[in-house]
Structure 1
Amino acid sequence: MSGRAEMHHQHRDVTGGWLRPSVFGAMDGLVSNFALIAGVAGGTADTKVIALSGVAGLAAGALSMAGGEYVSVASQRELAQAEIAVERRELARHPEDEQAELAQSFVDKGVSPDLAAEVAGQISRNPDRALEVHARNELGVAPGELPSPLVAAVSSFLSFSVGAVLPLLPYLFGARDLLASAVVSCLALFAAGALVSAVTARTWWFSGLRQLVVGGVAAAVTFGVGNLIGAAGV
C-alpha cells in the first residue's frame, strides 16, 4: 500500500477571498447603474443626459468600490498582522506554555493527550511552522496568506466597471429609449446570477431569476421616482 493518502474528492473555495469582491462588484455595478439610468430616463428623454449620468455612475461607483475595498482589506490585514505579531512574541517568550496550549487544542479536537503532546512538540521545533499553526488555530489566518488590499481594490474596480458599462452600452451606440438598455441589463442580470450558481449549491435558473428580480425591482423603483420628479417639473 502506498504511504501517500489518496485524494477521493475536492472542495470548492468557500472562503470568498476572490469570489465576494468580484461577484459583489459586478452585481453592484450592473444593478446600481441600471437603476440610475432607469431613474434618469424616467425623468427625462434627453439621451445625452441619460448617457452622461451612466458614465458618471460608472466612474463614481467603480472608484468608490475600489477605495472602500482597499481600506477595508488593508484594515483587516493590519489587524491580522498585529495579532500575528503578538503570537510571535508569545512563542519567543513562553515557548513551553505555547506548546502546551497547542497540545491542549489537539486534545480538545479529540486527539489523545500523549499523541497531542508529541505532535505539538514536533511542530514547535520549527518556529515558522509553529507560528502558522498557532495563527490558524487562534486567529483563523496564516501569516503568508493574508489578503492583498491592492488586488481587492483592482478586482472590485474592474468587476464594477464591467457590470456598470452593460446598461450604458445601448446609449453609447445610439439607443433612443430605455428599452434596449433594459433588455441588455435583464439578460446580463440573469446570466450573472446563473454564472454564480457554478460556485454555489443553487440551480442556474434559481440564481439567475433571483438576480433578475433584485435588479428589476431596483430599476423599476428608481424609474418610478424619476418619472414622478420629471412629471412634477423639479
Structure 2
Amino acid sequence: MTTDAPAAEAHEHSHADVSGGWLRAAVFGAMDGLVTNTALVAGVGGGGAAPRAIVLTGVAGLVAGAISMALGEYTSVKTQNEQLDLEVEKERRELERNPGGELAELVTMLRVRGVDADLAQQVAVQLHRDPDIALRLHVVAELGLNPADKPSPRTAAVSSFLTFSLGAALPLLPYLFGVSLLWVALLCGGVGLVAAGALSSRFTPRPWWYAGLRQLVFGALAAGATYAIGAAIGVTAA
C-alpha cells in the first residue's frame, strides 16, 4: 500500500527592514540625540552654568543636531543610491557589449552556489532571455544590493530628525518643568538611553537588558568626560 506525501504549503512571512532605510536612521538618531544632549547638559552643568544657560545650550544642541542629522542622512543615503545607480548602468552596458561573457559569469556564479554545470548553463541561458531579470541578478550577485530596494533619503532624513529631537529633549525635561537639578536631568537621559537600547533590541537577537545597559554605558562615558571637562574649565574660569 502506498501513501501520497503531503503537499508542501507556502506560508507568507515578512522580514524586518535591513536595507538601511528608516530603522537605521531612527536608531542612530535617537542614540545620538540622547548621548549628545545628555553629555552637553552634563558638561555645561558641571561647569556651574545657571539653569537658563543649560536650557539654552540644550535647545541649541537639539535644533542644530537634529538638522545636521537629517541633512547628513539625506546626503549619505542619496549618495549611496546614486552610486548604486552608477553601478547598475555599468552592468547594463556590460550586458549589452559582452553578453557571452556575462552569461559565462552567471553560469560560474550558479556553479559556485552548488548548481550542476549543465543545469547552471540552462538556467543562465533562460534567465538571460529577459534583460531586466539578467541585470537584476548580476547586480544582486556582484554587489549584494537589490536596485529595487533602495532606501529613501527623505525617510532616513525625517526619521533621524524626529528621533534625534526626541532623544535630545529628554535630559532637558526637568529644567523645562522647573526642576533645576543636574542629577535629575542626567537620570532622565540615562532612563532614555536604557529605553532606547531596549527598544532597538526588538530588531536584533540581543536581550533587551544587554542593549539597554550597553547604551547606558556609552552615554555615561560621554557624560562623565564632558562633566569633568566642564568642571575643570568652570573652576579655572572662576
What SS does structure 2 have at the residue aligned with 1:159?
A: helix
Q: Distance in 1 between matches of 2:7 and 2:80?
A: 40
Counterpart residue type for residue 73 of structure 2: E
Q: Does 1:153 align with 2:144?
A: no
- Give how far 1:93 is off: 2.3
Instruction: Tell me the residue number matched to 1:6.
Output: 10
Instruction: Tell me the residue number matched to 1:47.
Output: 51
- Give how far 1:220 is off: 1.7
Q: Distance in 2 between matches of 1:93 and 1:26?
A: 47
Instruction: Tell me the residue number matched to 2:129.
Output: 125
Q: Distance in 1 between matches of 2:36 and 2:113?
A: 46
Q: Does the CA contact (< 8 Å) of 1:194 and 1:205 recur in 2?
A: yes
Q: Does the CA contact (< 8 Å) of 2:20 and 2:151 recur in 1?
A: no
- Give how far 1:152 is off: 1.6
- 1:226 corresponds to which of 222, 227, 230: 230
Question: Are residues 131 and 63 of structure 1, via their aligned partners in 2, closer, same or farther at CA, if it must alter by over 3 Å?
Answer: same
Counterpart residue type for residue 48 of structure 1: R
Q: Does the CA contact (< 8 Å) of 2:111 and 2:120 recur in 1?
A: yes
Instruction: Tell me the residue number matched to 1:28.
Output: 32
- Structure 1: runs of 5+ lacking an equivalent: none
TM-score, length basis structure 1? 0.92
Q: Distance in 1 between matches of 2:6 and 2:105?
A: 34
Q: Distance in 2 between matches of 1:3 and 1:98?
A: 38
Question: Are residues 221 and 70 of structure 1, via their aligned partners in 2, closer, same or farther at CA, if it must alter by over 3 Å?
Answer: same
Report Cα offsets for 1:124-174 as digits up to 9, x if no partner. 111111111111011112222222222222211111111111111221121
What SS does structure 1 have at the residue aligned with 2:178?
A: coil
- 2:65 corresponds to which of 61, 64, 70: 61
TM-score, length basis structure 2? 0.90
What SS does structure 2 have at the residue aligned with 1:202?
A: coil
What SS does structure 1 have at the residue aligned with 2:145?
A: coil
Q: Distance in 1 between matches of 2:14 and 2:155?
A: 26
Instruction: Name the count of aligned residue pairs.
Output: 234
Q: Distance in 2 between matches of 1:149 and 1:122?
A: 36
Q: Distance in 1 between matches of 2:35 and 2:128?
A: 51
Q: Does the CA contact (< 8 Å) of 1:45 and 1:177 recur in 2?
A: no
- Structure 2: runs of 5+ lacking an equivalent: none
Q: Distance in 2 between matches of 1:13 and 1:152?
A: 12
- Give how far 1:231 is off: 1.3
Q: Distance in 2 between matches of 1:7 and 1:116?
A: 28
Q: Distance in 1 between matches of 2:99 and 2:224?
A: 62
Instruction: Tell me the residue number matched to 1:100.
Output: 104
- The percentage of counterpart residues that share the same residue type is 53
Counterpart residue type for residue 236 of structure 2: A
Q: Does the CA contact (< 8 Å) of 2:201 and 2:208 recur in 1?
A: yes
- Give how far 1:178 is off: 0.9
